[in-house]
Structure 1
Amino acid sequence: MNAMHQYMLDNYRAAQRGDQAPPQPGLHDVRVVREFRDYRHFQAVVSGRRARGRARAALARWLHRRPRRAAGCR
């Protein structure tokens, strides 16, 4: 059973009982992602880390690091 089938079943049960219909699947996904991002930014600020640009800075460090020398070579 996928999310749409579950939604239709829940909607039917709510109509039979006279309850309010549940929200459609995927209706609040963007809001949840934004709240999670804001929460991660808040936690970074509270712990003293940079709130924005951390992934880009880590990628830049990884791309611009010096190559390792071979063992025994100077």
Structure 2
Amino acid sequence: MSRVQGLRTKTQKKKYLKELIDAEAIRPEAYNIKNSYEVGDFINHPKYGDGFVEEIMTETKMRIFFLDSERVFIHSKA
């Protein structure tokens, strides 16, 4: 989802996330530390809710944008 890379402000990111949440055809993937993710992936976390991957920081770290926060998570953990 290359549209994510054009989102600069928190307001733009929140609007985009709300669009994803409201779109019935798009379902978030349950977060799993073992899975590999890409920028734009729509994720559901049991504690933080729905969000999208806004940045892949390293091979095993990513930043996810949620409506109320941005958090760093581990991914691709064997």
**TM-score, normalized by the shorter chain, greater than 0.5:** no
- With the length of structure 2 as denominator, give the TM-score of the two structures: 0.26
- Relative to the length of structure 1, the TM-score reads 0.27
Greater RCO (CA < 8 Å, at least 6 residues apart): 2
Tell which structure's C-alpha radius of gyration is larger. Answer: 1
> Which structure has the highest strand share of the two?
2
